[in-house]
Amino acid sequence: MRGVCRSLTAIPNMNMGHRYTGLIERYRDRLPVADDTRLISLGEGATPLVKLNNIPRAFGLRAELYVKYEGLNPTGSFKDRGMTLAVTKAVEEGARAIICASTGNTSASAAAYAARAGITCFVLIPEGKIALGKLAQAMIHGAVVIQIQGNFDAGMNLVKQVASEVPVTIVNSINPYRLQGQKTAAFEIIEELGSAPDYHCLPVGNAGNITAHWMGYCEYADHGIVNNRPVMVGYQAAGAAPFVLGEMVDQPETVATAIRIGHPQSWDKAWQVQKESGGWFEKFSDEEILAAQKLLAEKEGIFCEPASAVSLAGALHDLKCGRIPAGSRIVCTLTGHGLKDPDTAIQQSIGPVLKIRAEPEAVKRAILDNLAR
């Protein structure tokens, strides 16, 4: 017994008995919740900010490059940050059901938080254009999955049309609580780095997330917690790039199905972010997006979904061409986990699965033939 006590006291600053219970509790004073609000949480937030070593070295790039691995939220995407607050507020306001249109991650998150809250969840998803993992999540959490013959933009229009006529609360990012929750990612980054980064790079679909991050950075700057703000850079898939083209896209297409969006919901807000932060939008082909996804997985051990990888593709491109100056401190948001879309990961993996006899000699041969791979 005495031995146990000695070993515990020997560990300095050990925060015994502290349980992290999610971002609303963590940032209660910066979010619209009352002391007696029942929080609907799955322990979201507090995701790792990982510094990339191998990739900058491989390209000879001088930069402090971090990824904020939002794929490690409870349902595997950044959506949980906004969803915990949106569902908390919906329940507080008496909702018995929530609804969203989704390219996949919002539906997975909404389904999980609705299950946690004990309410019904309706999700409208585009037929055939949602990654397998996301569909599995919506289904296992018991959401009512409504597949439409149309894309995300059509689904979003339908949700907006019907939600006022039936007793459901919309939990897409047009729900202001979603952005309030999502702004906490910027708080976490500032707290870890001691200041805002010079550049923050994100994939852009509806542009809710880039807007929410800017809100968070501005809030900490306005309250004097830091005295700098990042330049916000939004990257899109070439086939779904309304911000780069400067106009809506009616038939968006990309392998990065999460951001297969042609009519972004936060259009005006995102342009304001671009202007206020001095940032820009750029687009990358599906090939470039998949190459960045693979690079990150192979060189750094981090698996993100295709849409997330456009932030790294963009940051590397802009560093190489000097638009982001050498020596900058950069954060890329990795919005979703790679396991969301196993089909795309398997399709683009060149290393074949070796099929051998179940014998030691065959295993040894397989090892010796592939040591340098």
Q: Which residues bind ligand F0G (CB under 6 A)?
A: 77, 79, 102-106, 173, 203-209, 258-259, 261, 305, 307-308, 335-336
Q: Which is nearer to ligand F0G, 305 or 318 (CB)?
A: 305
Q: Which is nearer to ligand F0G, 199 or 235 (CB)?
A: 235
In the complex, the smallest distance separating the C-beta of residue 270 from ligand F0G, rounded to whole angstroms, is 8
Q: Which is nearer to ligand F0G, 197 or 338 (CB)?
A: 338
In the complex, the smallest distance separating the C-beta of residue 95 from ligand F0G, rounded to whole angstroms, is 19
Q: Which is nearer to ligand F0G, 22 or 133 (CB)?
A: 133
In the complex, the smallest distance separating the C-beta of residue 277 from ligand F0G, rounded to whole angstroms, is 15
Helix (H, G, I), strand (E, B) or coil at 195: coil
In the complex, the smallest distance separating the C-beta of residue 17 from ligand F0G, rounded to whole angstroms, is 35
Structure tokens that stand for 264 in this block? 């972004």
In the complex, the smallest distance separating the C-beta of residue 261 from ligand F0G, rounded to whole angstroms, is 6
Closest CA to 197 of 217, 223, 222, 224: 217
Q: Which is nearer to ligand F0G, 84 or 173 (CB)?
A: 173
Q: How far apart are CA 118 and CA 37, in angstroms?
A: 16
Q: Which is nearer to ligand F0G, 250 or 369 (CB)?
A: 250
Placement of tokens 């249109």 in the chain: 101
In the complex, the smallest distance separating the C-beta of residue 217 from ligand F0G, rounded to whole angstroms, is 16
Contact assessment for residue 87 and residue 110, using Cβ atoms and an 8 Å cutoff: yes
In the complex, the smallest distance separating the C-beta of residue 264 from ligand F0G, rounded to whole angstroms, is 7
- Cα separation values, 59 from 63, 65, 295, Å: 11, 12, 11
In the complex, the smallest distance separating the C-beta of residue 1 from ligand F0G, rounded to whole angstroms, is 50
2, with CB counted inside 10 A (0-12, 13-18, 19+), is exposed
Cα 62 to the chain's mean position, in Å?
26
Q: How far apart are CA 318 and CA 320, in angstroms?
A: 5
In the complex, the smallest distance separating the C-beta of residue 307 from ligand F0G, rounded to whole angstroms, is 4
Q: How far apart are CA 166 and CA 97, in angstroms?
A: 10
Contact assessment for residue 184 and residue 23, using Cβ atoms and an 8 Å cutoff: yes
Structure tokens that stand for 237 in this block? 């898939």
In the complex, the smallest distance separating the C-beta of residue 300 from ligand F0G, rounded to whole angstroms, is 18
Q: Which is nearer to ligand F0G, 327 or 341 (CB)?
A: 341
Placement of tokens 């542009």 in the chain: 207
Q: Which is nearer to ligand F0G, 277 or 335 (CB)?
A: 335
Which residues does residue 169 pair with via DSSP β-bridges, in sequence order? 98
Q: Is the dihedral angle over the CA atoms 129, 67, 236, 262 positive or is it negative?
A: positive
DSSP character string of 265-321 = TTHHHHHHHHHHHT-EEEEE-HHHHHHHHHHHHHHH---B-HHHHHHHHHHHHHHHT
Angle between the N-to-C axes of helices 306-320 and 286-300, in degrees from 0 to 180, rounded to the nearest 10:
90
The amino acid occupying position 37 is T
Q: Which is nearer to ligand F0G, 257 or 328 (CB)?
A: 257
Q: Which is nearer to ligand F0G, 175 or 308 (CB)?
A: 308
